[in-house]
């Protein structure tokens, strides 16, 4: 199997600096950031968010920018003082690098340690790396016992909520893939962003690493800003983040996460289509891998693809131990992405994807080029235009199909149609009620867990129910 070629261009590290009243330190800090060594040929961009500083911090930054015209530096101003979390949220939104790191504007953390923080991201082992002040490392300034105790307590509570074993949740040094952070809605405006990010990273199943760092903490007299009020706020944020469903900026990702709560349903779907799958399979729109893990065993080759960068990274992490499974980015609307696999597969699986693409005929024509003569397309789409509702609209469905219309589409694209399967009648009344009466915009993970408990029953009665199925599955071949 030929693999897509990737351009080997230098990646960029976005250095995110929230700024508030650091006139004394920010100039030296920026000089150290500009001089910091970066591994792997990384470029750097520096994004400074001024959170309405009242001292001369802005003038210091402007002088720094003027003195270094060749350095990529952006200074963004908030219209009102909103807090560190708000400044970081603004910086993440502005970041253009593949990777990002949060850097406080004081001199407590040493930019010379960027290589050890970014290394696990560059080599693909991690999605997030925390710099821990409490792992065995070099020297660190010994400061307040009660401050340290509060840090350990908050880290422990955050670990319980996130099911992690971090040693330093409150560390400034958090490095991460930028696309991951952009895909997470960040709500806290102040220091509560630390547990919020940590718990949401964990609940998104990010691979989190820790590395020891040195630390030169300052005293309250020297300007330390975090206090007891922030500790109590962090406690409340931990509770909220543990139970929130607001883990995705995109509705489609939230729906896929809800579907992950129904593994028995996913197995039912896999069992339905598995008899038609061959040994060399490409899955279009694999998402977070709900169907991939069901279908990939016993294949000579399984290629899981998706358009979304986060899904691609999640797939790589989930299936890195499977030697016969490849993960690639594939845009079903881009003919160039299909050329790498043309004519090399005996099966293409495309489940709940075609309805998201405006040019559905062009897409099935491109899929045909992937198949060897006699190779099969297994295509699952939502059934029944009369069932179209608010959930369809929210997750980007252009249409729902009819059986005659889907058959005609495939035949006009050059396929030999084999058969049509009707799947999942049981959920149709609920889908219509939720989408047309309740006007919901996503699926509830709780309802999916309940639905999942009774899949054994749904499988027995589904074909005998007297109404249309929720989905239809077309089986078609490339002519010999």
Residues near 251 by beta carbon (within 8 Å), at least 6 away in sequence: 394, 395, 441, 442
In the DSSP assignment, the letter for residue 340 is G
Percent residues over pLDDT 70 in the chain? 93
pTM attached to this predicted model = 0.82
Q: What is the pLDDT of residues 125-167, one digit of tens each?
A: 999 999 998 886 556 666 667 777 888 999 999 999 999 999 9
In the DSSP assignment, the letter for residue 427 is T
The pLDDT assigned to 2 comes to 47
Dig out the tokens for 292 from the structure: 């991939």
Of the listed ranges 60-69, 196-205, 231-240, 405-414, the one predicted with least confidence: 231-240
CB 153 within 8 A of CB 234: no
Q: Which of the four pLDDT bands, split at 50, 70 and 90, describes residue 226?
A: low
Indicate whether 7 pLDDT > 50.
no
List beta partners, residue 284: 350
CB 169 within 8 A of CB 155: yes
Torsion sign over Cα 114, 119, 120, 122: positive
Burial status of residue 300 (CB atoms within 10 A of its CB: 0-12, 13-18, 19 or more): exposed
The pLDDT assigned to 149 comes to 82
Nearest alpha carbon to residue 176 among 247, 233, 126 = 126
Cα separation, 401 vs 469, in Å, equals 11
Indicate whether 219 pLDDT > 60.
no
In the DSSP assignment, the letter for residue 183 is T
Nearest alpha carbon to residue 315 among 86, 30, 124, 53 = 124
Cα separation, 308 vs 379, in Å, equals 20
226 or 205, higher pLDDT: 205
The pLDDT assigned to 136 comes to 66
The pLDDT assigned to 98 comes to 96
Indicate whether 440 pLDDT > 80.
yes
pLDDT, mean of residues 195-219: 90
What is the separation, in whole angstroms, between the first and last Cα of the chain?
21
Q: What is the pLDDT of residues 341-372, one digit of tens each?
A: 999 999 999 999 999 999 999 999 999 999 99
Q: What 3-state DSSP class applies to 303?
A: strand
Cβ burial 158-177 (10 Å sphere, 16+ → b, else e): bbebbebebbbbbbbbbbbb
The pLDDT assigned to 218 comes to 56
Indicate whether 260 pLDDT > 90.
no
What is the number of other CB atoms lying within 10 angstroms of the CB of residue 50? 23
Residues near 209 by beta carbon (within 8 Å), at least 6 away in sequence: 120, 125, 126, 128, 129, 130
Strands 73-77 and 43-50 turn out to be parallel
Domains and CATH numbers, the chain: 12-248 (3.90.550.10), 252-477 (3.40.50.150)
Helix, strand, coil percent values for the chain (each to nearest 5): 45, 20, 40
Strands 471-477 and 416-423 turn out to be antiparallel
Average model confidence (pLDDT) for the chain? 92
Dig out the tokens for 437 from the structure: 């009466």
CB 384 within 8 A of CB 468: yes
Q: What is the pLDDT of residues 286-332, one digit of tens each?
A: 998 999 999 999 999 999 999 999 999 999 989 989 999 999 999 99
| Phi, psi (degrees; rounded to nearest 5) at 13 | -100, 120
Quickly list DSSP for 355-419: GG-S-HHHHHHHHHHHEEEEEEEEEEEEB-GGG--HHHHHTT----B-HHHHHHHHHHTT-EEEE
Distances from the Cα of 61 to the Cα of 30, 209, 365, angstroms:
8, 32, 55
The pLDDT assigned to 250 comes to 74
Of the listed ranges 21-30, 257-266, 426-435, 465-474, the one predicted with least confidence: 257-266
CB 48 within 8 A of CB 75: yes
Dig out the tokens for 114 from the structure: 């960027």
Cα separation, 461 vs 203, in Å, equals 35
């Amino acid at each position: 199997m030929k693999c897509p070629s990737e351009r080997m261009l230098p990646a960029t590290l976005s250095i995110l600096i929230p700024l508030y009243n650091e006139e004394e330190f920010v100039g030296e800090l920026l000089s150290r950031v500009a001089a910091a060594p970066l591994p792997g040929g990384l470029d750097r961009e520096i994004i400074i968010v001024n959170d309405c500083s009242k001292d001369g911090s802005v003038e210091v930054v402007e002088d720094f920018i003027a003195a270094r015209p060749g350095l990529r530096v952006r200074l963004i101003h908030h219209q009102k003082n909103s807090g560190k979390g708000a400044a970081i949220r603004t910086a993440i939104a502005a970041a253009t690098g593949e990777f990002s790191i949060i850097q406080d504007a004081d001199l407590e953390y040493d930019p010379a340690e960027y290589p050890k923080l970014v290394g696990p991201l560059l080599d693909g082992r991690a999605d997030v790396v925390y710099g821990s002040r409490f792992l065995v490392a070099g020297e660190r300034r010994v400061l307040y016992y009660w401050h340290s105790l509060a840090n350990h307590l908050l880290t422990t509570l955050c670990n319980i909520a996130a099911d992690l074993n971090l040693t330093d949740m409150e560390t400034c040094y958090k490095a991460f893939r930028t696309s991951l952070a952009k895909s997470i809605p960040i709500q806290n405006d102040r220091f509560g962003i630390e547990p919020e990010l940590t718990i949401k990273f964990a609940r998104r199943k990010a691979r989190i690493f820790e590395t020891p760092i040195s630390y030169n903490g300052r005293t309250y007299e020297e300007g330390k800003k975090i206090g007891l009020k922030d500790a109590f706020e962090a406690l409340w944020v931990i509770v909220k983040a543990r139970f929130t469903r607001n883990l995705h900026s995109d509705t489609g990702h939230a729906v896929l996460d809800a579907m992950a709560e129904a593994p028995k349903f996913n197995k039912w779907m896999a069992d339905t289509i598995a008899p038609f799958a061959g040994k060399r399979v490409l899955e279009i729109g694999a998402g977070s891998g709900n169907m991939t893990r069901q279908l990939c065993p016993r294949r000579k080759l399984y290629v899981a693809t998706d358009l979304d960068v986060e899904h691609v990274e999640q797939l790589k992490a989930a299936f890195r131990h499977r030697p016969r499974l490849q993960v690639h980015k594939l845009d079903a609307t881009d003919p160039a992405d299909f050329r790498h696999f043309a004519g090399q597969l005996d099966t293409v699986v495309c489940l709940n994807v075609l309805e998201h693409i405006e040019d559905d005929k062009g897409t099935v024509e491109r899929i045909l080029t992937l198949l060897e003569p006699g190779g099969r397309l297994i295509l699952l789409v939502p059934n029944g235009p009369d069932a179209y509702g608010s959930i369809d609209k929210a997750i980007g469905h252009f249409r729902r199909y009819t059986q005659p219309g889907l058959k005609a589409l495939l035949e006009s694209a050059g396929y030999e149609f084999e058969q049509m399967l009707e799947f999942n009648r049981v959920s149709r009344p609920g889908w219509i009620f939720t989408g047309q009466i309740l006007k919901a915009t996503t699926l509830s993970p709780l309802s999916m867990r309940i639905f999942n408990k009774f899949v054994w029953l749904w499988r027995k009665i589904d074909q005998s129910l007297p109404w249309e199925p929720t989905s239809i599955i077309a089986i078609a071949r490339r002519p010999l």
